[in-house]
Amino acid sequence: MSDLVLHHYNESPYAEKIRALLGYKGLSWRSVMVPRIAPKPDMVALTGGYRKVPVLQIGADVFCDTRLIAWELERVAPAPSAKAEPGWNDIVEHWVDLNLFGKAVAYTFGKNVDHLPDEFLADRAALRGAPLDREALKRAVPLVEQELATHVAWVESGLAAQAFVNGAVPGSADFTLYSTLWFARNGRFDFGRFPATAAWMDRMKAFGHGERTDMTADESIALAAAHEPAALTYDSVSPDAGGLAIGQRVSVAPELLGHGTAVQGELVGINAQRLTLVQHSERAGRVHIHFPRVGYRIREVKPS
């Protein structure tokens, strides 16, 4: 049975990125379904408070954020590789995360807002730290659709010249872009005007999701409790450039959609790319929780 456990829900575009990457690498994995909205008591038993999906679990190690999860999958399954040379690939991935993704979400939410429960909108508003208004979301759809089409036309011009964003084979930008456009397609965005992009999406979809086996949340927590965290797979520094040192108690929270998701723990590893906290839970035991540095606020927790 696979050592990889993905905590996710089916509609999540972030989770689709990792599911597609698991398919591309031909990996077997166990699936733990997470509620779309809080509370998520089983998930936070592993993460110490982080509740965004997906989360990858390997024994008593928990990896947060799709960028870090992709790095970890590349480490445990280096072939076929989705690691691309720095340059165009990184630029596209950054552009999708900071620009295109927000437009795809606004479009899809606006198109489907009449079918979204009040508690779902309230949950996402809490993450944003700002209200979400149904009528405003609907009014914004024509403009957002036009903006989205303009950006997809740019994607179309690039994919007309090559099979993938990364060239002849897919790289990390392909999976980031695919999951974003997959979400827009679920919102009924018309890709008929963009044949090269539609064909590329078919190629990405054909990778599938790997071999998925269902697992309960209780089973995943018992798995963590039965293991000790693995030795760190990266060289840590103490103190790092930000002045943080091993052994300090810190708080980590996403910079975007991070309200109410901070995790506190003892810092056991840190460098320019990633950091690791240790958490002790009655249900899960001793767990290492891993984050990327970029996109997260790290603060020292002063003794009370």
Domain of 201: which CATH number? 1.20.1050.10
pTM to 2 decimal places: 0.94
**Does 67 share its domain with 103?**
no
Q: What is the number of other CB atoms lying within 10 angstroms of the CB of residue 50? A: 25
**Does 181 share its domain with 39?**
no
Per-residue pLDDT of the chain (304 residues; tens, 9 = 90+): 369 999 999 999 999 999 999 999 999 999 999 999 988 999 999 999 998 999 999 999 999 999 999 999 999 999 999 987 766 788 898 899 989 999 999 999 999 999 999 998 888 888 777 888 999 999 999 999 999 999 999 999 999 999 999 889 999 999 999 999 999 999 999 999 999 999 999 999 999 999 999 999 999 999 999 999 999 999 988 888 788 899 999 999 998 766 667 899 999 999 999 999 999 999 999 999 999 998 899 999 988 7
Q: What is the pLDDT, as a whole number, of residue 258? A: 65
Q: What is the pLDDT, as a whole number, of residue 241? A: 77
Q: What is the pLDDT, as a whole number, of residue 87? A: 67
**Does 217 share its domain with 76?**
yes
Q: What is the pLDDT, as a whole number, of residue 129? A: 76
Number of domains in the chain: 2
Q: Which of 159, 190, 205 is the last residue of a domain?
A: 205
Domain of residue 11, residue span: 5-80+212-300
**Does 157 share its domain with 192?**
yes
**Does 193 share its domain with 50?**
no
Q: Which of 157, 175, 205 is the last residue of a domain?
A: 205
**Does 127 share its domain with 187?**
yes
**Does 76 share its domain with 217?**
yes
Q: Which of 205, 240, 257 is the last residue of a domain?
A: 205
Q: Which residues of 53-66 are buried (b: 16+ CB within 10 A; e: fewer)?
A: bbbbbbbbbbbbbb
**Does 294 share its domain with 216?**
yes
Is residue 9 classed exposed, middle or buried when 0-12, 13-18 and 19+ CB atoms within 10 A define those classes?
middle
